[in-house]
Chain A
């Protein structure tokens, strides 16, 4: 398996533009997570899907952020409009929900909003 695949790896955009980050989880995994990592705040959980259904989105910063999982093999995280403070590395992770919930992380998308 290729692991969790995220695209793009790097994104530079201007303030006010829409940004869409993409994730393909590991086949067979039923849980998907979006995390944001910054120096100041560390790794923050943004949203958690189980069987394609959003279960916990309490970490989503504000209405500018939205996430979807239309099927078991694809998820998107959208920021509209983007702001400089959204600059961070965004990780997607997936796991198979069971007692050992090892999370497999993608390579991340480094977002820079100028």
Chain B
């Protein structure tokens, strides 16, 4: 079945440093979504990318969808302690839109 892999599993940065997490799918995706889960919390939707090569920005967060629609990345510029959490990518399971296969996530720790 479809697999969604994320690297790294864990990253610890100093506040102000940049951070990037990468997501790779075993199959071509119709779209990819990113979620953030704070410690003790629940996943919260950040963004969806649909088009090949698409780049979207949310303040200090930059999301990219690969040309082949099999990989994606999330880059955070100048991390802050509020960025702490686990970042998940998720892709549709099968041909439908509805069900999502989540990556294992990248846990980000930011030290002040």
Question: Does A101 reach chain B (CB closer than 8 Å)?
Answer: yes
Chain B residues with CB under 8 A of A93: 43
Q: Is the CB of A99 within 8 A of B43?
A: no
Binding site for A on B (CB under 8 A): 31, 33, 35, 41-45, 48, 50, 88, 90, 92-93, 97-105
Q: Is the CB of A97 within 8 A of B98?
A: yes
Chain A residues 13-59 with CB under 8 Å of chain B are 31, 33, 35, 42-43, 45, 48, 50, 55-56
* Chain A residue total in the interface (Cβ 8 A): 25
A106's partner among B42, B88, B99, B103 (CB-CB below 8 A) is B42
Q: Is the CB of B44 within 8 A of A50?
A: no
Q: Is the CB of B43 within 8 A of A95?
A: no
Binding site for B on A (CB under 8 A): 31, 33, 35, 42-43, 45, 48, 50, 55-56, 91, 93, 95, 97-108
A45's partner among B31, B35, B42, B101 (CB-CB below 8 A) is B101
